C-alpha cells in the first residue's frame, strides 16, 4: 500500500514538531483516532480544524484545503460480500492505518497479538437504536532486532 503524499507530509511535520496524536486531540478537540484518520485521508476537516492543524504543524494553505475535501474511504479494491463482514472490513479500511499509527506511537514498533487476544461484543441500549459494542484486546508484541 502506498501512503498518499499528503499523509507523508502530515506525519513528517507531526514528528518534526514532536507532537503526538494526543497533543493534536487537545488542539482540535477531536479524538486522536479521528485525527489519525484525517491524516490518512479517511476523514475530512472543517476549514477551521484544517487551519488549526496546519498552523500547529507549520504546513501551508494547500494542505489545509486538501484536508477539507470529502475522502474516498477505504484503501483497497477487495470487498467481502457478507454485509456484516464487509462492515468490519470497512472499519479496517478506514481506521486500520490510523490505529496502526497510534499503537506504534504508544507502544513502539510491533503488533497486537491475535493469539493472546480477547474480543467482546456487547449490546448497548440506545434510544436512537441499539448499538453494537466491540472491544478488542491483544497483547503488544514488539518486533525483535537481531
Task: Exactly one of 16, 113, 131, 137 is catalytic; name it.
Answer: 113
Contact by Cβ (8 Å): 142, 107: yes
For 30, 76, 92, 115, the CA distances from 51, given in Å and listed in that order, are 14, 29, 28, 42
Residue corresponding to grid cell 481506521: 95
Spot the catalytic one: 16, 46, 48, 87. Answer: 87
Choose the catalytic residue: 20, 44, 90, 105.
Answer: 90
For residue 1, the SS3 value is: coil
Q: DSSP string of 7-22?
A: HHHHHHHHHHTT--HH
Q: Of 18, 43, 45, which is closest to residue 33 (Cα–Cα)?
A: 43
DSSP one-letter code for 119: E
Active site residue 90: yes
Nearest of 75, 2, 64, 1 to residue 37 by alpha carbon: 75
**Residues marked as catalytic:** 87, 90, 113
Amino acid at each position: 500500500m502506498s501512503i498518499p503524499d499528503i499523509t507523508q507530509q502530515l506525519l513528517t511535520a507531526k514528528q518534526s514538531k514532536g507532537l503526538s496524536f494526543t497533543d493534536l486531540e487537545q488542539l482540535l478537540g477531536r479524538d486522536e483516532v479521528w485525527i489519525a484518520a484525517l491524516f490518512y485521508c479517511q476523514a475530512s476537516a472543517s476549514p477551521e480544524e484544517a487551519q488549526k492543524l496546519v498552523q500547529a504543524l507549520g504546513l501551508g494553505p494547500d494542505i489545509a484545503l486538501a484536508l477539507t475535501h470529502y475522502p474516498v474511504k477505504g484503501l483497497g479494491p477487495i470487498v467481502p460480500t457478507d454485509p456484516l463482514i464487509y462492515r468490519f472490513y470497512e472499519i479496517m479500511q478506514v481506521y486500520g492505518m490510523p490505529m496502526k499509527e497510534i499503537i506504534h506511537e504508544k507502544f513502539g514498533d510491533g503488533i497486537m497479538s491475535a493469539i493472546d487476544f480477547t474480543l467482546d461484543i456487547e449490546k448497548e441500549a440506545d434510544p436512537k437504536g441499539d448499538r453494537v459494542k466491540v472491544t478488542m484486546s491483544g497483547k503488544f508484541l514488539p518486533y525483535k532486532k537481531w
